[in-house]
Structure 1
Amino acid sequence: MDSQNYHFVIDTLNKMAYHYYVLDSPIASDAEYDALYHKLKAYEEAHPDSIVPNSPTQRVGDVPLSEFSKNTHIKRMWSLDDVFDEAELEEWLKRIQKTHPYATFTCSPKFDGASLNLLYEGGLLQSATTRGNGIEGELVTQNARTIFSIPLQIPYKEQIEIRGEVLIAKDDFTSLNAQRLTDNLPLFANPRNAAAGSLRQLDSKITVKRPLRFMPWGVGAIHTQKQSFYEILKSLESFGFAPMPFLVHCTDKEEIIKTYQNLLNTRETYPLMLDGMVIMIDEMAIQEQLGWTIKSPRFACAYKFPAVEKTSIIKDIVFQVGRTGVITPVAELEPVEIEGAMIARASLHNFSEIAKKDIRIGDRVVIIRSGDVIPKIISSIHTLRDGSQVRIQPPTLCPECAQELLLEEILIKCQNLNCPARVKESLVHFASKKALNIDGLGEKIVYELFDKGLVRGILDLYKLKEEDLLKLEGWKQKRAQNLINGIKNTYGIELWRLINAFGIEHIGEGASKKLAKIFGTRVFSISEAEILGIDGFGEEMARSLCEFNHANKELIETMLEIIQPKVQQREVVLDSVFAGKNVVITGTLSAPREHFVEILEGLGAKVSSSVSSKSDYLLCGENAGSKLAKAQNLGVQILNEEDLLKLLKT
């Protein structure tokens, strides 16, 4: 081989691989491919400076990593809201068609795998990042390069994020587990877990041996003149990606349901795992107008397949105590396999649910599990009872601390703040990924440290010493150092994480971020009135936060002193026309609602969700409803976007 036909050989090998791995239609034998590949490899070993990025030799696994780096997506990866039946679908469509009656829809299969974001610049693959929390994920470029259905080079030269699912076909999964059984290795629970585990191998030489494939389903950042999401997805085929099956452009509900039924009928026989259908508004301009909620786009949903049902027998009931003290009855079942996972336990949620469904110990029950959803008992089969079944009696004493329980509407709660179960669950939450994210401090370690008397509360974590941990059975120096370092890494962490870590009732991740941004560390001393002034915050949230602040003043002060969290408080223009004013937003605007909320709050306004006599302005978009009429009756000043821009300029 010489330099003249080097590129020809690369193109030939890539074409062979595309037909084999992507189209499942080989155009050459394995022997022909291997012979040509080894010629290419020999040439590149003799001429290392000539190697080009799209050479198939660049797919071979690289040196193992010690850990994955974090990488931020250019455009956020959102999760989708689910709909489960035609009634919910119709309700979702009505919301869309109320403001956009001529919207059309792109329907595509929802694959059950591991989501991946590919970034291309200048036509070359620059990075591959897992979904993570939607904002940032783990950088797995080294592993992604080993997947033949991911092109290393595409004809599109602008910057583009291409999103899709990393999958293992059902037959490949069966073969993979058969080999692992032969090698005396643990078996994968299902194809999705196998795909996710393979993608996150620190040694890409392991990943290259796994039969992974990539199926595109969307884009993130993109420079395009195309105004149709359907056309954008179709264009990915010309980039060298696998053609998306069952991709249909629909104009109404009837076409959407027909497409869904076709996909559902194919579910069992299709070689890849499917768990529903994605419905996306096709017009890109309408997508931008509708925008996003705090966690998902308003212009798309996932129409999930019916959950797989199995039956089992309830052997016993155990009572779990959560960090808020709520007692949850959990059924211990005869193990049953559902979608590749062995199910031996299922939550019964509360005692009202048990009474309504008349569920008893010894009953044969119907269980469902859909995707990652926790197994759920939906009914008992009363006709199979033989008289040996036993009614489930709610406990009167806490199963952990033996304190008397409180009946609070449909919930039964342990009010003992020092209850071991509550403390342990609080510690687990405190260390979790969306709280302080302490590496090496999972549930098992928390329970061990608590049971050995090393940790009895949050503050004890910061008193842990390496020598304390080394006294525990099975603990070595590296493991102990890693945990101590994980705790030290919480110093200077973002304030919202600390707020969320406290586990304040009704205050989750989104609320914690908003509170930190608006109030900074003053969040621990604000009044109910100030909280209620925040858009989206209700009375229960305000009361819960204020009660927590009052009851835990000393703990909060100590934690702030230890951690000294990073505060990224929003800069507020105190002399703006909106400073101290109450603003309500309604109707469809040119950008997502959150965009205008951030602008107005940055100018000192309080954005609330309802019009009242205290409202100063109503920012009004298209198709405004009752809020506009109420504002007019109350004499509230009404602004459109043009009015807002004029005021902003002043």
Structure 2
Amino acid sequence: MWWITKLLGLLVLLSAMASATCPAWSPVQAQQEMTKLNEKLTEWDRAYYQKGISAVSDATYDGLRSQFNEWQECFNPAETPHEPQLFTEGKALHPIAHTGVKKVPDSAAVAQWIKGKSDLWVQPKVDGVAVTLVYQQGRLVKLLSRGDGEKGQDWTAKAKMMDAIPKTLSGPLANSILQGEVFWKRESHVQKKMGSINARGKAAGAMMHKSEPEVLKELEIFVWAWPDGPSDMQLKLDSLEQAGFPLTKAWSKPVKSLSDIAQQRESWFTQPLPFVTDGIVIRQSQEPAGKYWLPGKATWVIAWKFPPVQQLAEVKDIQFSMGRTGKIAVVLNLNPLQIDDKQVKRVNIGSVKRWQEMDIAPGDHVMVSLAGQGIPRVDEVVWRVSERKKPAPPSKEMITPLSCLYFESICREQFIARLAWISSPAILNINGVSVSSWQYLQQKLGLEHIFSWMAVTQEQLSQISGMSPVRSAHLWQQFSKTRQQPFKQWLMAFGFPLPRAVLTTLPDSQWLHLVARDELSWQKLPGIGPGRAKKLVEFVNHPQIAALAAFLAQQGIQGFSNQ
């Protein structure tokens, strides 16, 4: 019977995995959300294939296309995954169809694809617009846009104004059909640093609209396929170079292993290139006859894109984080994603006001990148679910700079933030005590207020379950050392509302001196106006502040004990 137990365990695991990825939607809402997203994907497909316009980045499109297919697997598993809808306003028939290139997600997929294959080559995946060149009896007779792979627009007139495209050919290419990429020429373009800079849109715009010959001279062509050409790849490359298409040979490299492929991909990602790229193409030299080529059916070539600088992420839920002064920050919890070498699960988007302006709800999809020092940030909201179920932020009236000096469950985060501030190197310098340490101590000791830890005995620390004797001794030593800190450090521990530059010149050395000051007295200090003076008087006379000052006096802290 052990196998039944294992089977049940596996089913439970699979069910949990499914529930983790499938939204908790009713059938009606699922249909609503999928219809809405499919309409947007169709709109983007139409713009791309008819007008050559990338309405959104590849990362956005690929991420939402993948998301749609995941939803389909959740709610309509019997249907086949949706593929991009190819639209074209062109009517010119391609003599040999454009197959397109299947994208693989990672090195494991590349390794699986190359298994058992030989005579492999890699080329940069040049970012431009795909075309067909048709030569007959040595003359260029057609240049067609890719369109839907079977029909495209006739751009022959533009080709005759482009220096990069030979108008006549001889030898084996005199009667040939070539497929390639018209792209915008660049100098020393480093993809990792500069990104795609809308290179495809610029090339498409020049080809589709009325352009001056000078603009067309900024375009170049990279031939990546010669259907029914020589089966020997080196011969094919040499022939293309001799015919006036030198880039193909210069940027095609033989590879034998995944390591070779990965190394070349990294090189082209980080080194200066004469074009914009978004990945690499891996192909076999052996190809089927051109008559068998069909859109979406290429088995002899794949693309492995570069790691995006941005990643699409779904917002799982929204939390509110309170700092020590009562400032509320909005944190998005995300389905985990990998950007560069960093896994991102949470991102702080700032104030409640900014969150409201961005209009983010659970279920929305946001574009995330890494800012300086690898800090995740939200660049934009790329998709919003129809049902906007947002959590309510904490009331501003309940969270203030004077709240949470004493522990209450409603302001747990602000209380812990105050303790973290107190223990920081710039304040009381309690070494080895982090936010998680304070959370643990609060859980075990039930600290009443922000200075309660001072009254904790060494014996109490040693009796905390899970804390080693060495750790408890260290904490006791660190807590004891704070008693030697000067008066002004303790004022900063309170969160005293006086700028640090003014605090350092403050002549008062006793708490009773501060209590004795009125608003006019405070205004005699540099940079203190009526508003700040009023806050200072309110602060020192606040009942909880007064109680904490009395507690510090009981503990014998310098500046408080003589009041």
Same fold, TM-score > 0.5, yes or no: no
Select the structure with the greater relative contact order (CA < 8 A; seq sep ≥ 6).
Answer: 2
Q: TM bucket by the smaller chain? A: 0.3 to 0.5
Structure label with greater radius of gyration = 2
> Normalising to structure 1: TM-score of the pair?
0.35
> Normalising to structure 2: TM-score of the pair?
0.40
